[in-house]
Structure 1
Amino acid sequence: MEINLKGKKAIVTGGSGQLGRCIVRTLAQCGADVAIHYHKNSEKAEELAAELKAMGKKSGVFQADITKEQSIYDMRDKVYEQFGKPDIIINNAVIQYTWKNILEQDPADFFSQFESCVMHNIYMNQAFVPHLIEQQYGRIVVMNTECAALSDAGSAAYVAGKRGLDGIVRCLAKEIGKYNITVNQVAPGWTISDRARKEHTEVQPDYDRTVPLGHRGTDQDIANMVCFLASDLAAFTTGAYIPVCGGRVMPAI
């Protein structure tokens, strides 16, 4: 048994970012062609697309501001014209900001998280899902976070955005399941990516001791779950919130 995405086309928002790059590469390794969305990091996106083409996979880079509806629709039109119509949608992009306690947090940060978590997904769904309905098949995988379940002090803007996202995913899964489209969430913990490897900050004792498995997960751990949910191995899983955080979050029944 293997994760086989041969013949599938995927789009990854935030594909040029730390986690996005690993997701893009892993989708391609599983056989998918991948459209790479970026906001500002065109250089990384182009480098990644070149990697995929060297693997024999079709790729392309597409710019958009994921908080702006028209920008998403403009990107969709270019993706359809230059790359094709994706079967797999990976909504991974999010706006980064400095965490503070609620009483100190700039209200603009709450709006930015709502825009990049909730509205980002609404715009992507409204733009790309009609094709999935038309072809009676699709996979949507959305990036959430362990923070949505933990609600730690200082994370309120992020948590509010991701909890709103959770509601969107659950409703969407019920609305479009009849079209053979699954919608699931992957919820990473504090993940080791290229930046941490470069800075040699993989080990974080205070955090690691709170993880039942004893260490942080990697971007590859997250990408593996994304690809599983994007595949037909997960054809009967939808509406799920799946933590990939070493057991730090264990949703209860």
Structure 2
Amino acid sequence: MRHVDTPGAAVVTGASRGLGAVIARRLAADGHSVAVVYRSGAEAARAVVKEIRAAGGAAREFAADVTDETAVTGLVADVTARLGPVATLVVNATGPQPTQDPAAVTWQDHLAQLAFFVKSPTLLMQAVLPSMRERGGGRIVQIGSDVTERVLPEMSAYTAAKAAQHSLTECWARALGPEGITVNTVAPGWIPVERHAGAAPEALAAYAAEVPLRRTGDPDDVAAAVAYLVSPEAAFVTGERVRVNGGHTLG
């Protein structure tokens, strides 16, 4: 088994906007060749790639439904052909997050969340594993959420799926550690991005008032945590859940 210290190719899902776009830009700035993966919003994905290249980084956009097995296999093959073997995987893609009375939640509602936070991560991990094994190691970071600690009844399906996602992180960390592959979760609090453009100022202020650091998070806060976990400095960190929420869920 050989070990390669160069950053290599990094796959970031859901990277055409929001946290994914910021993470992609940060990893590119750190020397990774970044696959900006998107399901919709080709123009936005191309804009992210253009920004990265303008700053001297390397990136390409890739369209794929990361909940589909065939699409994921094709995605990783395409990334490998164009950017090289995958060394880093950031599982960030998400779908709608509706609020629902638990009494009205259906099994299909649960499946919709599990598709993004259990099925998709599993497909992606399995697809990049051969590249990481060939390199003698790799980094997998899942973008979770602190919602698992906030006990929000109207987010029960989302919360259950996010809890399952972190359980995958722990299981994979134990299974893949002997091969030099680390697996961690970054769990943000409320980090306002494009999808929260309609949030009322008073709601943001009320949330910030509950946070010990007295502010909402910034996407760069999350990107910095991801950048650390995929760096050589975090080579001995695995199976962890790093909360990036200003201490909001402290006991």
TM-score where L is the length of structure 1: 0.91
In structure 1, the residue matched to 2:230 is: 230
Matches within 5 A, 1:14-33: 14-33=14-33
- Tell me if the contact between 1:6 and 1:30 (Cα under 8 Å) persists in the aligned partners: no
Superposed CA deviations along residues 137-190 of structure 1, whole A, max 9, x for unmatched, are 111110000001222121111111111111111000000101111100000000
Q: Distance in 1 between matches of 2:202 and 2:72?
A: 35
Q: Distance in 2 between matches of 1:220 and 1:198?
A: 21
- Once the two structures are TM-superposed, the CA of residue 60 in structure 1 deviates from its matched residue by 0.9
Quick one: which amino acid aligns to residue 89 of structure 2?
I
- Tell me if the contact between 1:203 and 1:216 (Cα under 8 Å) persists in the aligned partners: no
Aligned-residue identity in percent: 31
Quote the RMSD (CA, aligned, Å): 2.0
Alpha carbons of 1:221 and 1:180: their partners in 2 closer, same or farther (altered >3 Å)? same
Alpha carbons of 1:213 and 1:89: their partners in 2 closer, same or farther (altered >3 Å)? same
In structure 1, the residue matched to 2:156 is: 156
Structure 2: gaps spanning 5 or more residues: none
In structure 2, the residue matched to 1:141 is: 141
Q: Distance in 1 between matches of 2:198 and 2:154?
A: 26
- Once the two structures are TM-superposed, the CA of residue 55 in structure 1 deviates from its matched residue by 2.1
Q: Distance in 2 between matches of 1:6 and 1:199?
A: 41
In structure 2, the residue matched to 1:115 is: 115
SS in 2 for 1:236: coil
Q: Distance in 2 between matches of 1:37 and 1:160?
A: 25
Q: Distance in 2 between matches of 1:68 and 1:178?
A: 29
- Once the two structures are TM-superposed, the CA of residue 205 in structure 1 deviates from its matched residue by 2.3
Q: Distance in 2 between matches of 1:202 and 1:26?
A: 31
1:63 and 2:71 matched: no
Superposed CA deviations along residues 176-217 of structure 1, whole A, max 9, x for unmatched, are 101111100000000022555797849712211221111111
In structure 2, the residue matched to 1:77 is: 77
Q: Which runs of 4+ in 1 moved over 6 A?
A: 197-200
Matches within 5 A, 1:94-113: 94-113=94-113
Tell which deviates more after alignment, 176-185 or 149-158: 149-158
SS in 1 for 2:153: coil
1:185 and 2:218 matched: no
Q: Distance in 2 between matches of 1:217 and 1:106?
A: 32
- Once the two structures are TM-superposed, the CA of residue 249 in structure 1 deviates from its matched residue by 2.1
- Tell me if the contact between 1:10 and 1:32 (Cα under 8 Å) persists in the aligned partners: yes
SS in 1 for 2:154: coil
Quick one: which amino acid aligns to residue 248 of structure 2?
R
Structure 1: gaps spanning 5 or more residues: none
SS in 1 for 2:149: helix
- Once the two structures are TM-superposed, the CA of residue 237 in structure 1 deviates from its matched residue by 0.5
Superposed CA deviations along residues 109-161 of structure 1, whole A, max 9, x for unmatched, are 21111010001110001100121122211111100000012221211111111
- Once the two structures are TM-superposed, the CA of residue 244 in structure 1 deviates from its matched residue by 0.3
Alpha carbons of 1:221 and 1:203: their partners in 2 closer, same or farther (altered >3 Å)? farther
- Tell me if the contact between 2:217 and 2:246 (Cα under 8 Å) persists in the aligned partners: yes
Tell which deviates more after alignment, 49-58 or 233-242: 49-58
SS in 1 for 2:37: strand
Aligned residues: 247
Q: Distance in 2 between matches of 1:231 and 1:202?
A: 38
